[in-house]
Amino acid sequence: MNIAQANEALGIPGVLSIRGGAGGLPLIDVHNPFAIAQISAYAGQVLAYRPIDEPEDLLFVSRKALFERGKAIKGGIPICWPWFGDDPLGRGRSAHGFARNWPWRLLATEAMADGATRIQLGLHADDETLAIWPHPFSLTLEVTIGATLDLALISHNPGDQPLTLTQALHTYFKVGDAARTRVHGLDGHDYIDKAGGGVRGTQQGPVTIAGEVDRIYLGTDGTLQIDDPSLGRRIHIERGGSRSAVVWNPWTDKARAMSDFGNDEYRHMLCVETTNAADDRVELPGGSSYRLMTRYRIERT
């Protein structure tokens, strides 16, 4: 359906509307009693979430982000699926799968009884996806905009053969100064240091950022926190269906190497991702579903 039809069928007067965003990609605007948010219907990607009483957005989007069909949007909450990282089969397919640069469909919207807003988007197998990843699937993203930002990514295998997935809610958080942030909740957990050539280490104390950080933390399913003294807030990250987490900041050299990322923007973002990555794989039997969930809450400090 076109944008006018989408608004007629799925808009919520005074709360939710659909419009053409940057690059002509469809954008969902939400403004309810709790928060203001934006979601790219093209990529199934939350781009903004700001509680009404907060001065800063929860999320970071690069000023050089590309809004083009077939391109990933640098920032917000990209969906990495059905694999995380490089092509697991080494066939030259794009890193982090195809879901983050594929057109999704807006399936449903709902004004909740408490004033929150729920949006459901979907992505399904077709001839084009089967040419990249030869498996039937149904993927649903549920986003709830309220006093917290809640996401649930539901993978369904409608076929007879089992599927193996890795995946991520690759969240870019806005921070005042990455070098002053601390990520709590990973002390004592082993990690794979991708920036250090894949060697393994064990986290001691909170995670700090003093250079490039690209780590997959293993065997972790607890709540994480980002302490951001520059913005005077703490971000709480609750997770479900995940036993791994990724912390990423490109720092100077990687930032300069990315055409869709500003040279100085590494200072103002930090990715802390809810994942099934590395050894943490999802085995999805035929006819079954799997739910990966996260909840974000801002606390003023």
Tell me the catalytic residues.
170, 273
Contact between residue 189 and residue 204 where contact means Cβ atoms under 8 Å apart: no
Taking the C-alpha atoms of residue 120 and residue 105, their distance in angstroms, rounded to an integer, is 9
Contact between residue 27 and residue 119 where contact means Cβ atoms under 8 Å apart: no
Contact between residue 35 and residue 146 where contact means Cβ atoms under 8 Å apart: yes
Taking the C-alpha atoms of residue 38 and residue 142, their distance in angstroms, rounded to an integer, is 14
Residue 91 to residues 133, 210, 278: CA-CA distances in angstroms?
A: 11, 34, 18
Token pair of 37 as six digits: 């948010």
Contacts of 92 (CB under 8 A, 6+ apart): none
Taking the C-alpha atoms of residue 83 and residue 11, their distance in angstroms, rounded to an integer, is 33
| φ/ψ (deg, to 5) at 240 | -145, 145
Q: Per-residue DSSP letters for 92-125?
A: -PPTTBSGGGS--EEEEEEE-TTS-EEEEEEEE-
Contacts of 113 (CB under 8 A, 6+ apart): none
